Amino acid sequence: MNFTCHPSTLISRIFIMRTSYLYALVAARYAVSHKMVLSNGSDVGQPAGYPKGQPIGQPVGQPVGGFVSVRAGRKQTPFPQWLTDFTGLKEWPGIDPPYIPMDFIDFDKIPDYKRYDQGVCGANPRESCSFDCDHCLAPDDVYTCRKISQTFDDGPSPATDKLLEALDHKTTFFNLGINIVNYPEMYRKILDGGHLVGTHTWSHPFMPSLTNEQIIAQLQWSVWAMNATGHHLPKWFRPPYGAIDNRVRSIARMFGLQAVLWDHDSFDWQLINEDQTVRTEEDIYRDVQEWKHDGEGLILEHDGTFKTVQVGINVNKILGDNQMTVAECAGGIDYIRAFP
Ligand SMILES: [Zn+2]
């Protein structure tokens, strides 16, 4: 196995350069309608809180904090011997993890839909069931909850601690594998608090733009990060940007993963944009009051930055602690397997 390890600071710099370029690209051409459609064609209506003309999920280049926080000199999760035996590698990968063949992946069962970039819709027929393009939901997608509940993506990060200190209920985190191995203590603190953790991929790519092998790599390395750091395997998977179609779903299902989307987007990431006129904290709290009044739904928030964590704490104050984890919302199980 040929794998070149980059110095972590370089990875961070490359990532920032790449994302700021993509951000400009995406911002220029992203426009989607905001109707949710089940894969059987029925319309579940416009999710509340979607300002007109706003994309689903975050832009590619979240400018402050970033998706992947890599700092030199910090203690990573040790790369376990079982993973060396399986992969031939000795260190955690950078943002482009290598594909490692796995016997439970059946390539014949992956539908042959075309790859597409963020915001470039129309390459595939509607039955490809893209959430980001068409707000299409598959029957096994979780996207709402009978009790209005918060969820937090993109951690663990240095800001996560503040959120953990403030929360009095169990919540759901969708963590990035690369952040898990770089913040192992924070990750274990989340688990110790009894919270639910699902995967948000290894390094936050736009999954439909990847090859099947790259999609597999993003999921397998995120699962291994959880296994090596917290001794468990995840059941729940939130695709970055809500970018998922039936090609991505079919691969995720082979990992035993079930997709989780949302019906209320806080758009908290807009608070850390340079242009702070897009959305204010007051806009978010006003939406949350409305959602609370309705009483149902899953809210998308982020624990990747201190700013969005503070908003999450304030949203928690508005909603209270009568919330559910995604597993409780779905009436399903937490982890498919935990190790002592
Ligand atoms: Zn994310």
153 is catalytic: yes
Q: With 90 as the cut, is the pLDDT of residue 174 above it?
A: yes
> Which residue range forms the structural domain that includes residue 211?
8-338
- What is the per-residue pLDDT for 169? 97
The string of pLDDT tens digits covering residues 195-236 is 999 999 999 999 999 999 999 999 999 999 999 999 999 999
Strands 172-175, 196-199: pairing is parallel
CA–centroid distance, 57 to ligand 1, in Å, is 7
Distance 245 CA to ligand 1 centre (A): 17
Which residues sit with Cβ closer than 5 angstroms to ligand 1, an ion? 153-154, 240
From 141, 153, 263, 303, the catalytic residue: 153
Residue percentage of the chain with pLDDT more than 70: 75
Strand order, beta sheet including 172-175? 258-259, 236-237, 196-199, 172-175, 149-153, 298-302, 264-265
In a domain, 2, yes or no: no
| 85 CA distance to ligand 1 middle (Å) | 31
User: Phi and psi (nearest 5°) for 74?
Assistant: -85, 155
Does pLDDT of 252 surpass 60? Answer: yes
Residue pair 19/13 in contact (Cβ under 8 Å)? The answer is no
pLDDT at residue 295 greater than cutoff 80: yes
The CATH number of whichever domain residue 73 belongs to comes to 3.20.20.370
In total, how many domains does the chain have? Answer: 1
User: Residue 198 belongs to what H/E stretch?
Assistant: strand 196-199
Among candidate residues 156, 160, 186, the one with its CA nearest the CA of residue 69: 156
Q: How far is the CA of 301 from the centre of ligand 1 (A)?
A: 9
For strand 149-153 and strand 196-199, is the pairing parallel, antiparallel, or unpaired? unpaired
Query: Residue 259 Cα, ligand 1 centroid: separation in angstroms?
Result: 14
Q: What is the pLDDT of residue 41?
A: 34
CA pair distance 68, 76, nearest whole angstrom: 14
| CA of residue 207 to ligand 1 center, whole Å | 12
Alpha carbon of 102 to ligand 1 centroid (Å): 26
Is 103 a residue of the active site? no
- Tell me if 3 is assigned to some domain: no
Choice among 132, 141, 302, 303 that is catalytic? 302
Mean pLDDT, rounded, of the chain: 82
pLDDT value for 331 = 84
Residue 276 lies in a domain: yes
CA dihedral 208, 214, 215, 217 (to 10 degrees): -160
Distance 140 CA to ligand 1 centre (A): 21
CA 78 to centroid of ligand 1, rounded, Å: 25
**Contact at 8 Å (CB) between 250 and 110?**
yes
- Ligand 1 centroid to residue 319 C-alpha, Å: 22
Q: Is residue 1 part of a domain?
A: no
Which of these, 226, 229, 95, 228, lies nearest to 237 by C-alpha position?
226
Q: How far is CA 164 from the centre of its chain?
A: 18
pLDDT in tens, 115-134: 999 999 999 999 999 999 99
